[in-house]
C-alpha cells in the first residue's frame, strides 16, 4: 500500500468536505443536537406523578395519610374529585395519572385498628410509568401503615415492635439512580452509528452518481488505498464528535467518568472505524445516495438504538431477539462505555467486548476492500 496515494485520496476527501461547509456543520451539529435532545428528553425517571384524590369524608387521619403523598417528590397533587366520573375525566384529560379513592369510614377504621382499603386507580396506557407510580404509592402506604401500627402499640403500653428483617439497600455505580448516568454513555454509540450512516454510506455512491469514479479508476490508486483514504477524513470528524460528546457529558450533564479516558477513546476509535467501514460497504453495494442513506439508517441507527441495551435491557427481550443482539456491534460498545463510565473497569473485565469490537472493525474493513472492484460496473 502506497502511503502517498492514500494521503492524496484523504486530502481530496478533506477538500471536498471543507468545500461543503453545510455537510461539515451537519456532521458536527446533528450529533450534538441529538445528544441534547436525548439527554434531556429521554429519561426513565418517574417524578411528579400527577395525582387527584377522592376523600368522601375528610378527617385528620385522612389528611395525615394524604400528606404523605403531597410531601413526596414522586407525586404532584392536582386537586380533589368527588365521584368516579370526575376521576375518569381527570385521567382521560391527562390532568392526572393516578387517583386515590379513600373509603367513607377511613378515620373510623384507622382508629379502631381495622383494615382501611384505599383504591389506587392508575392510567395504564404507559405501562412502565404506571408500574413505577404504583410501586411508589405502595411504599408510601406501607410506611403510613407501619407508623399507625407503632402508634397503636405505644398507646396500648406494649413493648416496642421491631421488624424481624431490615433491608439496607446500597446502590453501586449510580447511587442516585439517575437514568442520564447510563443513557448518556450509550448515546455516544448511537451518535457514532448515525455519523457512519450519514457520511461514509454516501461517499462511494456519490462518486458513482457524479461520474468521478471513472476518473479514480483510471488512476494508479488501488482499491485498499482508496478505501483507507476515504475513511481517514470521516474517522477524524467522528473522533471530533466523540470528544465533543465526552465534554458535554462531563460539563453539561455531569455524568461521572470513573474509568480510563485513554481506553474510552481507544475503544471509540476502533468502533468508529468499523462503523465507518460498514457505511462504506453499504455505499459500495448500493451505488445510490438515497438508497445508501436509507439502508444505512436501517442497518446502523435502528439496531444501535433498539438492540444494543442502550435503553431496553437485553435480558428482558424474547430469546430470538437476544440471540440477534449478538450481531449488533453497538451492544459491545455500549457495554464498554457503561463499564468505563460508571464502574471504572478496564480490559481485565471488558476484554471480551473489546476483542469483538476489533474483530468487527477488521471484518468491515476487509469486507469493504472485498466488495470494491476497481472497474466500471
* Structural domain contains residue 25: yes
How many residues would you count in the chain? 377
* Structural domain contains residue 364: yes
Handedness of CA 93, 95, 97, 98 (dihedral sign): negative
| Co-location of 150 and 202 in the same domain | no
| Co-location of 134 and 257 in the same domain | no
For strands 49-54 and 75-80, give the pairing.
Answer: parallel
DSSP H helices, the chain, are: 3-18, 21-41, 60-70, 84-92, 106-112, 127-155, 180-198, 200-210, 213-217, 223-251, 261-286, 289-296, 302-306, 319-325, 329-338, 347-371
Q: Is the pLDDT of residue 229 over 80?
A: yes
| Co-location of 250 and 113 in the same domain | no
* Structural domain contains residue 172: no
| Co-location of 280 and 139 in the same domain | no
* CA nearest to 271, candidates 247, 242, 248: 242
* Structural domain contains residue 173: no
What is d(CA 57, CA 359) in angstroms, rounded to the nearest whole number?
69
| Co-location of 346 and 295 in the same domain | yes
Q: What are the backbone dihedrals phi and psi of residue 113, each rounded to the nearest 5 degrees, phi first?
A: 80, 10
pLDDT, greater one: 164 or 93:
93
- Residue ending a domain, among 155, 186, 203, is 155
| Co-location of 185 and 258 in the same domain | yes
Q: What is the pLDDT of residue 160?
A: 59
Task: State the residue for C-alpha cell 488512476.
Answer: 219
Handedness of CA 65, 70, 74, 80 (dihedral sign): positive
Q: Is the pLDDT of residue 1 over 80?
A: no
| Co-location of 102 and 215 in the same domain | no
Q: What is the CATH number of the domain that holds 84?
A: 3.40.1710.10
From residue 99, alpha-carbon distances to 53, 122, 245, 280 in Å are 6, 7, 41, 54
Q: What are the backbone dihedrals phi and psi of residue 53, each rounded to the nearest 5 degrees, phi first?
A: -130, 135
* Structural domain contains residue 168: no
Q: Is the pLDDT of residue 6 over 60?
A: yes
| Co-location of 272 and 352 in the same domain | yes
Number of domains comprising the chain: 2
Helix (H, G, I), strand (E, B) or coil at 368: helix
Q: Is the pLDDT of residue 42 over 80?
A: no
| pLDDT, tens only, 331-376 | 999 999 999 999 999 999 999 999 999 999 999 999 988 888 766 5
| pLDDT, tens only, 151-191 | 877 777 665 566 667 678 888 888 877 888 888 888 888 88
| Co-location of 39 and 53 in the same domain | no
Helix (H, G, I), strand (E, B) or coil at 337: helix
Query: Buried (b) or exposed (e) across 141-170, using 16+ Cβ within 10 A?
Result: beebeeebeeeeeeeeeeeeeeeeeeeeee
pLDDT cut 90: percent of the chain above it: 41
Task: State the residue for C-alpha cell 460539563.
Answer: 251
- Residue ending a domain, among 155, 189, 211, is 155
pTM: 0.82
Range of the structural domain that residue 100 is part of: 49-155
* Structural domain contains residue 63: yes
| Co-location of 201 and 274 in the same domain | yes
Q: What is the pLDDT of residue 324?
A: 93
Contact between 99 and 53 (Cβ < 8 Å):
yes
| Co-location of 262 and 366 in the same domain | yes
What is d(CA 36, CA 135) in angstroms, rounded to the nearest whole number?
30
- Residue ending a domain, among 102, 123, 155, is 155
Handedness of CA 275, 276, 281, 283 (dihedral sign): positive
| Co-location of 105 and 122 in the same domain | yes
CA angle 325, 330, 332 (to 5 degrees): 80
* Structural domain contains residue 77: yes
Indicate the range of 45-49, 107-111, 249-253, 331-335 predicted with least confidence. 45-49
From residue 326, alpha-carbon distances to 308, 329, 333, 335, 338 in Å are 9, 7, 12, 12, 17
* Structural domain contains residue 92: yes
What is d(CA 235, CA 274) in angstroms, rounded to the nearest whole number?
10
Amino acid at each position: 500500500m502506497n502511503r502517498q496515494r492514500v494521503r492524496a485520496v484523504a486530502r481530496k476527501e478533506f477538500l471536498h468536505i471543507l468545500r461543503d461547509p453545510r455537510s461539515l456543520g451537519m456532521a458536527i451539529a446533528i450529533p450534538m443536537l441529538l445528544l441534547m435532545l436525548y439527554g434531556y428528553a429521554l429519561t426513565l425517571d418517574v417524578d411528579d406523578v400527577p395525582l387527584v384524590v377522592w376523600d368522601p369524608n375528610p378527617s385528620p387521619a385522612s389528611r395525615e395519610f394524604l400528606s404523605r403523598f403531597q410531601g413526596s417528590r414522586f407525586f404532584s397533587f392536582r386537586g380533589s374529585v368527588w365521584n368516579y366520573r370526575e376521576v375518569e375525566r381527570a385521567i382521560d384529560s391527562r390532568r392526572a395519572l393516578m387517583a386515590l379513592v379513600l373509603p367513607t369510614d377511613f378515620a373510623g377504621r384507622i382508629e379502631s385498628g381495622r383494615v382501611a382499603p384505599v383504591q389506587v386507580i392508575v392510567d395504564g396506557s404507559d405501562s412502565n410509568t404506571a408500574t413505577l407510580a404504583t410501586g411508589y404509592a405502595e411504599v408510601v402506604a406501607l410506611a403510613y401503615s407501619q407508623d399507625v401500627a407503632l402508634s397503636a402499640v405505644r398507646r396500648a403500653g406494649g413493648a416496642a415492635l421491631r421488624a424481624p428483617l431490615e433491608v439496607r439497600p446500597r446502590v453501586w455505580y449510580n447511587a442516585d439512580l439517575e437514568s442520564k448516568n447510563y443513557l448518556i454513555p450509550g448515546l455516544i454509540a448511537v451518535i457514532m452509528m448515525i455519523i457512519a450512516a450519514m457520511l461514509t454510506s454516501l461517499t462511494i455512491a456519490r462518486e458513482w452518481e457524479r461520474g468521478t469514479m471513472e476518473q479514480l479508476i483510471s488512476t494508479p490508486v488501488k482499491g485498499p488505498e482508496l478505501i483507507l483514504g476515504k475513511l481517514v477524513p470521516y474517522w477524524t470528524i467522528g473522533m471530533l464528535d466523540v470528544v465533543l460528546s465526552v465534554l458535554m457529558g462531563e460539563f453539561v450533564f455531569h455524568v461521572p467518568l470513573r474509568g480510563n479516558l485513554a481506553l474510552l477513546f481507544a475503544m471509540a476509535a476502533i468502533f468508529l472505524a468499523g462503523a465507518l467501514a460498514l457505511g462504506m460497504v453499504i455505499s459500495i453495494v448500493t451505488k445510490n445516495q438515497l438508497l445508501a442513506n436509507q439502508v444505512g439508517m436501517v442497518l446502523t441507527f435502528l439496531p444501535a438504538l433498539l438492540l444494543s441495551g442502550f435503553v431496553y435491557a437485553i435480558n428482558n427481550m424474547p430469546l430470538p431477539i437476544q440471540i440477534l443482539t449478538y450481531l449488533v456491534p453497538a451492544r459491545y460498545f455500549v457495554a464498554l462505555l457503561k463499564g468505563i463510565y460508571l464502574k471504572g473497569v478496564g480490559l481485565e473485565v471488558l476484554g471480551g467486548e473489546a476483542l469483538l469490537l476489533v474483530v468487527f472493525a477488521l471484518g468491515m474493513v476487509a469486507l469493504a476492500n472485498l466488495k470494491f472492484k476497481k472497474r466500471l460496473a
